[in-house]
């Protein structure tokens, strides 16, 4: 199974600032995803991080607000830009090898925006 | 109506009890996942099922494709089993999540 680490594990940020979350996987994976989990809610897919090209965003999420990089098959970053209290959530990195293979999740980054 | 529905939403049990969490879905799927989320937020994959039954330690997961229903059972529950249990289904390339079941096991 893939082992995923995320940095930071948690942060408290001021309104209007930006935070970049890093995701590192211990093996090369084809598919990497970023999810958001708002308080009391289930997971929502933000985007699929594509290696060497622009991420594929889900409806309701835009690149200006959530820029994503994926320079190689083991690493990705998600930036939460111009933050507001509504961005307070857990952000999770996830990986999968194919369409129906097991999906693995990182430990999450708990973000609080004041 | 959500594509993936779980019941119950909240469950409190005494240590040692047998626990069942249910998941129903309304779409065609290629696989179903049971996930465990602890208070810190990290998620652990417990099972991936496409048919039948799987067992790992005290955990058992079953799926009935015809009835579009899956169950997660925990035998001899323990306080360390306290967590949110999430059912998720692969429909095409997308993973769709249930709302989760908050399980609390009291000593």
Model confidence band, residue A53 (pLDDT cutoffs 50, 70, 90): confident
Model confidence band, residue B1 (pLDDT cutoffs 50, 70, 90): low
CA-based R_g, chain B, Å: 13
Q: Are A7 and A111 in contact (CB under 8 A)?
A: no
User: What pLDDT digit, counting tens, does each position of A66-86 carry?
Assistant: 999 999 999 999 999 999 999
Distances (CA, A) of B43 to A81, A92, B28: 25, 9, 24
Of A1, A100, A105, the CB nearest to B43: A105
Work out the minimum CA distance from B25 to partner chain A, whole angstroms: 15
For the cut 70, the answer to whether the pLDDT of residue B78 exceeds it is yes
Contact A1 B45 (CB under 8 A): yes
By C-alpha distance, which of A82, A93, A77, A76 is closest to A37? Answer: A93
Nearest chain B Cα to A40, which residue? B99
Model confidence band, residue B91 (pLDDT cutoffs 50, 70, 90): confident
Interface of B with A in 6-35 (CB under 8 A): 30-31, 33, 35
pLDDT more than 90, % of chain A: 75
- B63, with CB counted inside 10 A (0-12, 13-18, 19+), is buried
In whole angstroms, what is the distance from residue B103 CA to residue B13 CA?
8
Q: Are B31 and B100 in contact (CB under 8 A)?
A: no
Average pLDDT over residues A33-51: 93
User: What pLDDT digit, counting tens, does each position of A2-11 carry?
Assistant: 889 999 999 9
pLDDT of residue A99: 59
User: What pLDDT digit, counting tens, does each position of B20-62 carry?
Assistant: 999 999 988 888 999 999 887 788 889 999 999 999 999 999 9
Of B45, B88, B90, the CB nearest to A104: B45
Contact B45 A92 (CB under 8 A): no
């Amino acid at each position: 199974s893939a082992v995923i680490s995320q940095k930071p594990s948690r942060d408290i940020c001021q309104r209007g600032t930006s935070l970049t979350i890093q995701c590192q996987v211990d093996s090369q994976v084809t598919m990497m995803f970023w999810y958001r989990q708002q308080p009391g809610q289930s997971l929502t897919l933000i985007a699929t991080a594509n290696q060497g090209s622009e991420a594929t965003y889900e409806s309701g999420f835009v690149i200006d607000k959530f820029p994503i990089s994926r320079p190689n098959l083991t690493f990705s970053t998600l930036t939460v830009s111009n933050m507001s209290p509504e961005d307070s959530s857990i952000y999770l990195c996830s990986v999968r090898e194919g369409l129906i293979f097991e999906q693995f999740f990182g430990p999450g980054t708990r973000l609080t925006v004041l | 109506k959500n594509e993936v529905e779980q019941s119950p939403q909240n469950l409190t049990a005494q240590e040692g009890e047998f626990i069942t969490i249910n998941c129903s879905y309304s779409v065609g799927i290629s696989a179903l996942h049971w996930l465990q989320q602890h208070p810190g937020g990290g998620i652990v994959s417990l099972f991936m099922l496409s048919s039948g039954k799987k067992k790992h330690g005290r955990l058992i997961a079953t799926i009935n494709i015809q009835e579009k229903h899956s169950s997660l059972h925990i035998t001899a529950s323990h306080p360390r089993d306290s967590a949110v249990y999430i059912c998720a289904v692969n429909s095409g390339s997308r993973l769709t999540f249930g709302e989760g079941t908050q399980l609390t096991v009291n000593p």
